[in-house]
Structure 1
Amino acid sequence: MSWERELEELRKREELAEQMGGPEKVARQHGRGKMDARARLNAICDEGSFREIGKVAGNATYDENGDLVSVLPAPFLFGKATVHGRPVVATADDFTIRGGAADAGIKRKMVQAEQMAHELKLPIIKMIDGTGGGGSVKTLEMIGATYIPAVPGWGDTVKNLDTVPVVALALGPTAGLGAARVAASHYSIMVRGLSQIFAAGPAVVDGLGESYKGSDDHARAKEELGGSDIHTRNGVVDDEVASEAEAFARARHFLAFMPEHVGQLARRSNCTDPVYRREEALLSLVPREDKQVYSMRRCMDMVFDQGTVFEIGKMWGRAAITALARLDGWPVAVVASDPSFLGGSWDAKTSEKVERFVKLADQFRLPIVHLVDNPGFMIGREAEMAGTIRYGVQAMNAIYKATVPLASIVLRRAYGIAGSAMSNADLYQYRFCWPSGDWGSLPIAGGLEVAYKSELVAADDPEALLEEIKERLNKVTSPFRSAERFNVEDIIDPRDTRPLLCEFADLAWRKLNSD
């Protein structure tokens, strides 16, 4: 006697599950330019590595004899897979079943996926497409009562944020809990024109009395309420891409820099880029005219292992560039000033971005490289209204609390409290300065006329005296004067930046491996 009959039923149930919401709804999903959940899982994971868990779970119907007629699968898929040969928990919402709403699903599936990640110390990938919440107002009539909101398993979501890398991809309209799941991640992505995020969708917003341009066109209304143009510029989501394929590639790339869990160290890659590569272009990168800008991204491309710079959050907090990169194959986290935006001054959003990124680096034990050209915190009424100093101090606190090794390179300016946030001054300063360095408690240009006001007022030729004072101060502010007093550790040839940072990376990872 065998169990073949039961296995036949299992295969039948699996076939029903693979139909998802049915041919018509799957076709509608594809017609919107979206991949279905199963195709997404196959695309983001190593080929053939996804093993589904709970495949046959769903809402079954039976005939009068108790025999199976049909199964509506749960709109949430998850399982064990590999990315770059390393194990992960991979999940995907199925929008073809009630728009991915949780009231059509089985809550335990989502909870089990979260628990699997933190209990087995596996990174978790969340492909989110739908509300993932409690359904519609119509659901209340079906239940026969309302309820106080609660999110089953959210405690496990919080644990994952503390223990394993969490990647979220918004791959469609995500509202309510779906939006919260995107935000509860270490790295998040939206697909331009395909993804939207909102606490509540356009219909609910209109129902509450708010109307806005585009409300007569549903697709346009979703974009105007919560498209990637909004959320990749306010910091809710890290990055936007042009296609799902690009989203999968970036998610995989991010995970390549990460360890599998807190307590494990990230991996070194094979490096063919010479450690002692010296780029001639670095010598003239910083212009002599202090108001001229230059490309910090170009500097990064020349200093770090070729082709390894992976920028995160490019569209928000733009006065600072945050990126993952490699030095002699070692992964590092990079914070770099961007003098092409606000002159590199840290505004509130930039400070928030730096704080979050430094905390990410410290949590997953990635050494930090800080490329500094910071004229200070943004000033003016708008900056004060935004609470810049509070966010700036929080960024500085994150740098002081970080326990991973940090190296700073001062390319040009380092002024005021923001300039002092380049590193923890209470610790050993692993720091190098370029000859173009310019630092102090405030820029000379900003305080010169105030400091010498009485002399200038009394002078027969104030303009000539002002130029004379500037000339004297230019000599005093030479970086070599600071080096004489060991206020800066070393002034270096800019072309030596890569070799010296590779040396830092080797020493930093030596320390991390011995901790």
Structure 2
Amino acid sequence: MTTTLGHDEVHRRRALAMRLGGADQVARQHAQGKLTARERVDLLADLGTLREFGILTGRAEYSAQGELRAFVPKGQVDGLVEIDGRPAVVSAGDFTVRGGAGGVDAVGFGREPLAAERALESGVPLIRLLDASGGSVKSFLDLGRTYPPDGNTFVASEVDLLQLAPVVSAVMGPVAGLPAVAACLGHFNVMVKETSQLFPGGPPVVKAALGLDITKEDLGGWRVHVEESGSVNNVAVDEHDALAQIRTFLSYLPTNVHSMPPRATPLAPRTDPATLRDVIPEDSRAPFDPRSVIDAVVDQASFFELSPAYGGSRVTGLARVDGYPVGIMANDPGVLGGSTDTAAAMKTIRLIQICDQFHLPLISLADEPGVLVGPDSERAGIENAGARLVWSVCRSRMPWMTVVMGRLFGVGGQTHHRPSGMFRRIAWPTAQWGSMHISGGTFAAFRSQIESAPDPEAEQARIEAQLRAVTSPFRTAEATGQDIVDPAETRVLVVGFVRDAQLPLARQLGPSPTPFHP
């Protein structure tokens, strides 16, 4: 005999949950140019792999006889999925239910594990598809009380997960409150142009606190966070692009720190490595495109750039060499002359952490004039950023290879070298190195001699010419054994390094001794 508690009731309640916030709210979501939570999950996951959990969680109304009269599902869709055949957990905010803040999380006795907790216990990636306004004062009326902010009760498992498996966040709409922190509590994040914003408190909160009238876009749009704050790595042209970027990012990483990254089919570079002979201009101050160098080193179409609009003096990203995933970075002399400023240091630290956490060898293509000098750089805390970068380099353990293409000076140059573990360095004949530039250091070192000379300018020029005579990288090689190579050989040598790196990487399986921090 079938009862209201039988299998028909299960399917009835699931059908109610599938309606999300109702037809009107779904239509409103679409009118704003946004997909629903379920549509996003369907696009992200391999076809037919979603195994949803917590679908019956929500707010129900019952008649006096105990019959269900209405049901509003929780404001998110959670489930186990597969992405490229590998397991993951996805949690998608449902803005159609009271702006993503209207659902209730199961709390108290008998609570089932939340999405991050399930990812942690299984050791699989967590993908957050965020579209949520955060907490609302309306919840006080629902509870009949207020409460001390104790969100870390739930967030602690997400912090632990950062040390175990990839965590990715996509800002798919306006995201405020605790979800705004979750957007940055990961290894990679992306936001969608025009339709997504990120802030701890939106325009009404800003108005109340500061008396300032501001739009959501001006407060926390993609230009603010992708180009200026660096809080978000990448921007997507639309939601399909954002979900594709997530899949691409995860394709370079292992399921967790206890496994090796997946190898793809090896491919030749997009650009002939012989073109590298002509990359460095005769004038060391003239810019060149470091991405053209990357295209001649890595497998074709494999470079996935991270934070391209932030800290532009260093290009950072993931790629493949001989099919193996790698991290890769390069100085861009077209931005600040290639000098490492605070922003570039921070994004470099993030790449080092990802490589160290997930067993990717790191390749550095160096043309480093040094850390950025000047009053603006001082006010931005360049010494602190430089110290953190040096610390991160020395604490890392994954195999590292530096290709010195041009300049390598000072503390900035120091950050392309590691004194421990598997480290290899090769240099092109165009390499120049030292504690500082000759042009900048000559006057400081020989000031009294220059100022007392009959012709100070001629004396400085004479000393600089004398110094340049000993700057040939071949003189360094004679004394140190430094390998100077034909730039056209770079791809072959990098392939050899990446192959050699696989055994040391396999010995490093497990959590990194240096915790990942966002």
What TM-score do you get using the length of structure 1 for normalisation?
Answer: 0.93
Corresponding position: 1:205 with 2:206: yes
Counterparts of residues 46-445 of structure 1 (less than 5 Å):
46-101=46-101, 104-106=104-106, 112-131=114-133, 133-136=134-137, 138-151=138-151, 152-212=153-213, 215=214, 221-233=215-227, 234-273=229-268, 279-427=273-421, 429-445=423-439
Describe the SS at the equivalent of 2:439: helix
Aligned letter for 1:129?
Answer: D
CA–CA distance in 1 between the matches of 2:374 and 2:459? 29
CA–CA distance in 2 between the matches of 1:268 and 1:300? 19
CA contact (8 A) 2:75 2:103 kept: no
Describe the SS at the equivalent of 2:483: coil
Measure how far apart 1:359 and its partner are: 1.2
Corresponding position: 1:473 with 2:475: no
User: Which runs of 5 or more structure 2 residues have no equivalent in the other structure?
Assistant: 509-518
Give deviations 1:126-145, integer Å, cap 9, x for gaps.
000012x4322x43344343
Aligned letter for 2:12?
Answer: K
Structure 2 vs 1, CA of residues 280 and 107 (structure 1 numbering), >3 Å: closer, same or farther? farther
Describe the SS at the equivalent of 1:419: helix
Aligned letter for 2:469?
Answer: K
Describe the SS at the equivalent of 2:114: helix
CA–CA distance in 2 between the matches of 1:114 and 1:428? 34
Structure 2 vs 1, CA of residues 110 and 388 (structure 1 numbering), >3 Å: closer, same or farther? farther
Aligned letter for 1:121?
Answer: G
Measure how far apart 1:514 and its partner are: 4.5
Which stretch of the first structure deviates more once superposed, 459-468 or 21-30? 459-468
CA contact (8 A) 1:74 1:106 kept: no
Measure how far apart 1:175 and its partner are: 0.4
Structure 2 vs 1, CA of residues 3 and 493 (structure 1 numbering), >3 Å: closer, same or farther? farther
Measure how far apart 1:11 and its partner are: 1.4
Give deviations 1:405-428, integer Å, cap 9, x for gaps.
111111111111121111213456
CA–CA distance in 1 between the matches of 2:421 and 2:55? 53
Measure how far apart 1:451 and its partner are: 3.1
What TM-score do you get using the length of structure 2 for normalisation?
Answer: 0.93
Aligned letter for 1:87?
Answer: P
Which stretch of the first structure deviates more once superposed, 47-56 or 326-335? 47-56
CA contact (8 A) 2:397 2:421 kept: no
Measure how far apart 1:117 and its partner are: 0.3
Q: Please, which of 454, 475, 495 is the counterpart of residue 488 of structure 2?
A: 495
Describe the SS at the equivalent of 1:389: helix
Q: Which residue of 1 aligns with 2:514?
A: none
CA contact (8 A) 2:399 2:422 kept: no
Describe the SS at the equivalent of 1:326: strand
CA contact (8 A) 2:60 2:71 kept: yes
Aligned letter for 1:332?
Answer: V
CA contact (8 A) 1:60 1:71 kept: yes
Measure how far apart 1:447 and its partner are: 1.5
Describe the SS at the equivalent of 1:148: coil
Q: Which residue of 2 aligns with 1:15?
A: 15
What's the % identity of the aligned pairs? 35
Measure how far apart 1:209 and its partner are: 2.8
Structure 2 vs 1, CA of residues 336 and 111 (structure 1 numbering), >3 Å: closer, same or farther? farther
CA–CA distance in 2 between the matches of 1:342 and 1:274? 28
